[in-house]
Amino acid sequence: GFRIRMRHPPHLLLCSALALCTGSRAFASASWGAAGRRLGARALHAAGVDGGIRGGAGGEKEPLQLLLVRHGESEANKARIFVSWIDSPLTARGRKEASLSGEALKAAGLCADSVFTSMLARAETTAQLMVEACGQDQVEETKRDWRLNERMVGCLVGLTMEEALERFGNDSVRLWRTSVDVRPDPIDEASENFPGNDPTYSFLPRDALPRTECLEDVRKR
C-alpha cells in the first residue's frame, strides 16, 4: 500500500500488496474493493488527515485524493499461484504495467511526494517504477508497513488454482476467496511460506503473524 500527496491540490495514494501500488489506475480485485477503501481511510487517519482535508499554507484546507492501485503482474500471478505473502517479483509485463501507470499519473499532472507500500517487493517495485515514470528523482516520504501486505490465505498459499481445486474442492475454494468473514484453513507453521519462517518479519512477535485471514481480518489489521 502507498500513500501519496500530489502536486496540484495534494493527493493521497494508497496501494496494497494484494494489488495496491502507486498509479492513476485504481484496480484491486473486486472482493477487495470495500477492504481497500477502509484501508485508505485508516491511512488518512494515520497521516493526520481528517475527512480527506489537510492544512495548507496560511492554514487553509487543501483537499486530498486517495488513489488505490494494484501492483503489476507478478511471476506468481502469471503461474496462477495463490501468492499471499510469498515475495514474488514482477514479470516484464508487470514492470511495463507499472511504468505505464506512472506515465498516466504524469499525464494527469499528479506527482507523489509521499508513498506508503507493503513489505512485498512486487508492490515496492511497482511504486518505484511509477514514481520514476512520473519523472521524479525521489519522494518526500516512503514507508513500508507489513499491515498493507496481501491477505494471508492460509492453506492455499503456494498452490496453483488447479491444485487448490483438486485438494479442497470448488465450493470451499470459492467460499474462501469470496467470503468476507470465512477464513481458509490455516497454513502449516512448518511451511516455508509461513511468514514466521521468513527473516523479513523477524521484528514481529511470532504470534502477531497471521496463519489465515478473511477480508474482515485484513480490514482490522
Q: State the catalytic residues.
A: 71, 150
Distance, CA of 117 to chain centre? 7
Q: Which of 92, 219, 210 is nearest to 157 (CA)?
A: 210
Using alpha carbons, list the distances in angstroms from residue 26 to 67, 90, 107, 217: 6, 18, 16, 22
Q: How far apart are CA 205 and CA 193, in angstroms?
A: 17
Task: Show the DSSP H helices in the chain as ranges.
Answer: 33-46, 75-78, 92-107, 121-133, 161-168, 170-178, 215-220
Q: Within 10 Å of residue 79's Cβ, how many Cβ atoms?
A: 12
Using alpha carbons, list the distances in angstroms from residue 156 to 169, 207, 213: 12, 20, 11
